[in-house]
Amino acid sequence: MNIPEEADDIPQINIVPMIDVIFAILTFFIMSSLFLTRSEGLPVNLPKAQTAQSQQQSKMAVTVDEKGNVFLNRQPITVQELPAKVKAAMANNSEALVVVNADERVPHGQVITVMDQLRTVQGVKLGIATRRP
């Protein structure tokens, strides 16, 4: 009788492909989580302020871009329509935080006009968005 000789090779598990798969999955989750953040306003160049503080996420964002166009939660709007739209957006809330995102090149008078229109709405608290230097 012939008895086959046992191979002295010890079985090994190659973990390099498993590490590659884990890194690929990790990269996928990191990249997909970057796209899950929600931006309330439009991209503008905010002015810098030394005393800037973070606020809780606002209920509404009013954006004034460098051309002077006004947006309420990314929807174009005129300054005259602003109080009515804010009241409608507040619905059942008695108070709402409205953050003004104004480009640094917008004339100061136009920002004051927007803020003045927002102050006519009862229960609105105003905030101005800045970025830290």
pLDDT-derived band of residue 58, with 50, 70 and 90 as boundaries? very low
60-128: what CATH class? alpha beta
How far is the C-alpha of 73 from the C-alpha of 93, rounded, in Å? 17
Domain ranges of the chain: 60-128
Position 71 scores a pLDDT of 93
pLDDT-derived band of residue 40, with 50, 70 and 90 as boundaries? low
pLDDT in tens, 93-105: 778 888 899 988 9
Has residue 87 got a pLDDT over 80?
yes
Rounded to the nearest 10 degrees, how much is the dihedral formed by the CA atoms of 23, 25, 27, 30?
-130
Has residue 122 got a pLDDT over 90?
no
Position 24 scores a pLDDT of 94
